[in-house]
């Protein structure tokens, strides 16, 4: 796990040093830059040593003849298998790192190397177009930059192209800002989307000039500044190719294969030359990961969970985490977060998050504690999205019966005047008449388009071409999938990538902790996605096949416990230790430039009277 940065069209040492220094927290173990003044390229790197802790893992790294240079963030878990294949082709290696394997794989298979990588990654490879011969040659059309991001977007990659054709990229927005080429002009569409979702959907960011390379995408940048972006992986398309028979498996067959793939993914995710632990919430996903980890170790696993002081016990899962920790005999640590601690850590927390999110605070504090004991932490992220684990999957299942009356609902919505059928009822009719995935999208949003027009001011609304949220969902809703799989597809592309994974990376890397989501091993995930929805969900239970597969491993109380979404006492903190900061923020010129006086007034009133008027803003 590391931090990367670079420029193409500019080779300025001071610029690349500033960019790299801005993400020092991502890699405290080593630092490096590479400059090619002829090709006008600069690469920067901050290293968090995980595999091969020696100086041989220094980056940016070149392969043998110096034609290819890489700056890379992530882990490729099957690098030893790829190394073996390359050695059979005559390749030789100077280190035991996965970094060198990626370079050689690119030299051998070009961009198709991505299909062989199993892991999480964001990297940039600079192809000089010729080896170093001692006499540099003029720039030619072969020089290019190749950038790629892993299939689920576990690792971040941001980029911008500015005046003069200069291309910049980095792991975090703050590194791009440090270049001096990026303005702080906000993207109004990003704010508009954020008010609905609580996060900024890729490829947008809060900065108008900056984009995120979407998950499962790669891009090439050529000498003249031409950019080509393409998708190399999609779970809906790839799962059917990788596991064409998965949808026909019965419960016993599916359970057996799921267990095998889950065990394999867990073992691979534990590969490291540093201590490895795990987040343990006491939910099925994290408990399953810890249980499978326990099969491969002789010493107690270090596990970590987060909760709140006693008066917020109803929001905490600490008792469930302790139960799982006792069951697997882990070395368990509880992290208790208080409002005062949040207030004290506020500045660092805001700096770490990089751009607004409704999530992430819990990950910040549990990562901070986890880093004192281990460098790598395994996680159960992705289980709810893949196994239809959220409660709204069951609600949507029940809602399918209402959806059968679609023609009738649409008729009422279209022909009954508003004074006979009030808007709130018409909105409900539109809800039940829509597809399951569309109903899900409506459940997920924090505010609809009409609500948002009351939240922002007239100057904001004057910006033309603000896209409705429905356009964001359209590509995902067009996939030819059953209802459960379609909602899962929306969750994987939306909430998981834009909120959970983005926040997990930003908040864990603020403490130089590498988080590895085992369930997002793409081979395991493709198999799960391809299974019949009947094996994932019934009227009474979610994650059916996961529980069946691991029944001999999981504690019975964990299997039978009610689903509990993570919540924080945010409003109490805003009215207490964070109130002074919150009121100052509401009175700032930044807030007044975006939000309506009515909305700001209600928010201030809510904080001062402790009446929860508008918490969405925060």
User: For residue 174, how many C-alpha atoms fall within 13 Å in the half-sphere facing its CB?
Assistant: 16
127: β partners: 68, 144
The answer to whether residues 16 and 6 touch, using CB atoms and an 8 Å cutoff, is yes
55 by DSSP, 3-state: which?
helix
Q: What are the CA-CA distances from residue 597 to residues 458, 594, 604 (Å)?
A: 10, 10, 10
2 tagged catalytic: yes
212 by DSSP, 3-state: which?
strand
Please give the span between the terminal C-alpha atoms of the chain, in angstroms, as a whole number: 30
Q: What are the CA-CA distances from residue 609 to residues 195, 281, 451, 595, 603 (Å)?
A: 24, 34, 23, 21, 10
Catalytic residue among 2, 113, 222, 575: 2
The answer to whether residues 219 and 229 touch, using CB atoms and an 8 Å cutoff, is yes
Measured N-to-C along each axis, helices 483-491 and 391-403 cross at an angle, to the nearest 10 degrees, of 140
Helix (H) or strand (E) holding 34: strand 30-36
Neighbours of 606 (CB within 10 A): 19
Question: Could you tell me which residues come within 8 angstroms of residue 114 by beta carbon, excluding any fewer than 6 positions away?
Answer: 148, 218, 232, 233
Rounded distance between C-alpha atoms, residue 469 and residue 19, angstroms: 33
277 by DSSP, 3-state: which?
strand
The full DSSP string for 544-572 is HHHHHHHTTTS-HHHHHSPP------HHH
Rounded distance between C-alpha atoms, residue 448 and residue 413, angstroms: 18
Question: Could you tell me which residues come within 8 angstroms of residue 146 by beta carbon, excluding any fewer than 6 positions away?
Answer: 106, 111, 124, 125, 127, 218, 219, 220
Question: Could you tell me which residues come within 8 angstroms of residue 397 by beta carbon, excluding any fewer than 6 positions away?
Answer: 483, 484, 537, 539
Rounded distance between C-alpha atoms, residue 4 and residue 24, angstroms: 10
The answer to whether residues 110 and 127 touch, using CB atoms and an 8 Å cutoff, is no
Q: Which residues are catalytic?
A: 2
């Amino acid at each position: 796990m590391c931090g990367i940065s670079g420029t193409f069209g500019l080779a300025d040492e001071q610029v690349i040093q500033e960019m790299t220094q801005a993400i020092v927290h991502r890699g405290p173990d080593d630092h490096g830059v590479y400059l090619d003044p002829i090709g006008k390229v600069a690469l920067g790197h901050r290293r968090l040593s995980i595999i091969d802790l020696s100086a041989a893992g220094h980056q940016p790294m070149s392969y043998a003849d110096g034609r290819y240079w890489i700056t890379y963030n992530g882990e490729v878990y099957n690098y030893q298998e790829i190394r073996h294949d390359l050695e059979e082709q005559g390749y030789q290696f100077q280190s035991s790192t996965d970094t060198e394997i990626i370079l050689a794989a690119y030299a051998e298979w070009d961009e198709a190397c991505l299909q062989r990588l199993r892991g999480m990654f964001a990297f940039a490879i600079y192809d000089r177009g010729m080896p170093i011969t001692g006499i540099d040659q003029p720039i030619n059309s072969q020089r290019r930059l190749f950038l790629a991001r892993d299939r689920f977007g576990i690792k971040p990659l941001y980029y911008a192209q500015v005046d003069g054709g200069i291309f910049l990229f980095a792991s975090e927005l703050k590194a791009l800002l440090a270049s001096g080429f990026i303005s702080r002009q906000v993207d109004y569409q990003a704010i508009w989307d954020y008010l609905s979702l609580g996060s900024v959907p890729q490829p947008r960011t809060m900065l108008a000039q900056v984009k995120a390379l979407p998950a499962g995408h790669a891009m090439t940048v050529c000498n003249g500044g031409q950019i080509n972006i393409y998708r190399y992986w999609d779970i809906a398309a790839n799962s059917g190719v990788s596991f064409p028979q998965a949808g026909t498996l019965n419960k016993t067959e599916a359970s057996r294969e799921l267990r095998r793939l889950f065990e394999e993914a867990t073992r691979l995710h534990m590969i490291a030359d540093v201590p490895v632990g795990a987040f343990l919430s006491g939910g099925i996903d994290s408990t399953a990961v810890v249980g499978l980890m326990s099969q491969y170790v002789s010493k107690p696993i270090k596990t970590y969970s987060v909760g709140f002081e006693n008066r917020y016990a109803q929001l905490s899962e600490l008792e469930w985490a302790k139960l799982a920790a006792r069951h697997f005999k882990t070395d368990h640590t509880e992290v208790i977060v208080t409002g005062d601690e949040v207030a004290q850590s506020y500045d660092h927390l805001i700096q770490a998050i990089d751009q607004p999110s409704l999530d992430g605070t819990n990950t910040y504090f549990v990562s901070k504690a986890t880093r004192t004991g281990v460098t790598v932490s395994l996680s159960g992220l992705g289980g709810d999205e893949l196994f239809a684990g959220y409660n709204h999957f069951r609600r949507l299942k029940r809602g399918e019966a209402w959806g059968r009356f679609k023609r009738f609902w649409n008729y009422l919505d279209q022909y009954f005047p508003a004074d006979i059928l009030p808007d709130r009822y018409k909105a409900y009719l539109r809800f039940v008449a829509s597809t399951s995935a569309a109903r899900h999208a409506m459940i997920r949003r924090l505010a609809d388009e009409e609500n948002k027009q009351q939240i922002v001011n007239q100057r904001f609304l004057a910006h033309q071409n603000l896209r409705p949220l429905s356009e964001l969902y359209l590509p995902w809703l067009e996939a030819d999938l059953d209802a459960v799989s379609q909602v899962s597809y929306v969750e994987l592309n939306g909430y998981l990538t834009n909120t959970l994974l983005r926040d997990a990376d930003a908040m864990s890397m603020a403490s130089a902790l590498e988080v590895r989501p085992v369930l997002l091993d793409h081979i395991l995930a493709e198999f799960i996605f391809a299974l019949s929805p009947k094996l994932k969900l019934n009227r009474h239970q979610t994650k059916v096949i996961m529980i069946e597969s691991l029944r001999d491993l999981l504690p019975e109380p964990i299997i039978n416990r009610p689903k509990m979404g993570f919540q924080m006492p945010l409003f109490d903190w805003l009215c207490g230790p964070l109130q002074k900061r919150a009121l100052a923020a509401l009175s700032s010129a930044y807030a007044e430039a975006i939000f309506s006086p009515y909305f700001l007034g209600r928010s201030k009133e809510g904080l001062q009277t402790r009446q929860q008027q508008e918490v969405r803003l925060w």
